[in-house]
Copies of this chain bind each other. A is one copy, B any other.
Amino acid sequence: MTDFKYLFYPGPSKPYAQISGYVSDAIQKNILGLNHRSSQFVEIVRQTRKMLGQKWKIPKNYRVFFCASATECWEIVLQNWVLKENIHVFNGAFGEKWADYAAQLCPRAKIKCFPFGIEERLPTHFQGECDSVICLTHNETSNGTYLPEECILEIKKNNPDALIALDATSSMGGFNLHWQLGDIWLASVQKCIGLPAGMALLICSERAIERALQINLSQHYNSITRLEANMQQFQTTHTPNTLGIYLLYRLLQDLPPLAEQAKHLQIRAASLYSFFDNEIDLLSPLVQNPSLRSPSVITLSAQVEVIQKIKRKAEENTILLGNGYGTWKNTTIRIANFPAINDSDFDFLKDFFSTLNLGST
């Protein structure tokens, strides 16, 4: 087993270094032994929600639920809000998976798919029925693209009655998200949020909650009606990942406001794209259009042999890079530009690429 020192895999990825200390505190203070319905633990959940308002600027009328994975969140969206029609717009593997999942889970609904290319802007021409959910992938981890805000806004304007659901798994926690653009935001915590895997956040507008309550599905333990009834008291329908919630609470207290972190991430992304655009031969960003390049998942493209050599040499240098995914499996590598990764790690990474002679075999 290679002992990697430099982790750039886009998820699960390197968690914040502070985690270990937080866990020690949690054990010393007996937080982990608290019942999740005790007043002490409920207070931690309440404070966590408060911090998400202060540091992440999540509006007060948006509800935050704690789930187990982004995949579970996909299921919750499809089960709770999709009746007659659902719209999926995607340009990569994760968006497509969500659409495939919808086709299986909602056999009675009309699932409309609008695939688009990685150099194209998000299509906005379609119209959804009033009961439809429009499922978008805010940051497509498989190819390193992300959605320009103005396109999401246009979709919102064209579809005033539909709910906009955004999978922000590799952007939430690193991007200064404009929450009002979406009705449902979901993300697992092991990517841009920088926490250990095993938890996800599902963030819903008042409108989304109201519609779920009207639809009133309640047969699943994770039905929105049940989640909402519990979360009104800062509780969950079942025993949640209490350590995950506590870690998020501690992290939010210690980190600067998200807007500052996002700024830093953007600057670092610009520097990385410039580096790979200009300084490294035989390897270049997969996405040519700069306005579509994800700041948090940098995807680099090369010939198969070059990719193989990079991976081999990276491993020798204890650097873990993300493999290519789906269509781009053998011709790309992916580099997570997540807030938990230090600037010095990126300096090491750049040095590695600078001294690597990709032309030789």
Residues of A within 8 A of B (CB): 1-5, 7, 9, 11-15, 17, 19-20, 23-24, 27-30, 32-36, 38-40, 43, 68-72, 74-75, 101, 104-105, 107, 188, 190, 196-199, 218-221, 237-244, 320, 322
Contacts and interface: CB of A to CB of B under 8 A. Distances in A.
Contacts of A32: 12, 14-15, 19, 190, 196-197
A1 to B, nearest CB: 5
Contacts of A101: 221
Contacts of A15: 27, 32-33
A33 B12 contact: yes
Contacts of A35: 9, 11-12, 322
A20 B24 contact: yes
24 contacts: A1-B39, A1-B40, A2-B40, A11-B239, A12-B33, A12-B35, A12-B239, A14-B32, A19-B23, A19-B27, A20-B27, A23-B23, A69-B239, A71-B239, A75-B221, A105-B220, A190-B239, A196-B242, A197-B240, A197-B243, A198-B198, A198-B241, A198-B242, A198-B243
A13 to B, nearest CB: 6
A220 to B, nearest CB: 7
This chain: how many copies in the complex? 2
Contacts of A322: 35
Nearest to A7: B33
B198 A240 contact: yes
Contact of A197 (B43, B71, B242): B242
A21 to B, nearest CB: 9
A174 B267 CA distance: 52
A219 B106 CA distance: 9
A179 B6 CA distance: 42
A104 B237 CA distance: 15
A23 B198 CA distance: 14
Nearest to A103: B219
Given A105-B220, A218-B104, A29 B3 contact: yes
A41 to B, nearest CB: 8
A293 B322 CA distance: 53
A265 B20 CA distance: 31
Nearest to A75: B221
B238 A71 contact: yes
A198 to B, nearest CB: 3
Contacts of A188: 239
Contacts of A5: 30
A17 B23 CA distance: 11
A24 B188 CA distance: 22
A296 B68 CA distance: 27
A81 B241 CA distance: 27
Contact of A221 (B28, B71, B196, B238): B71
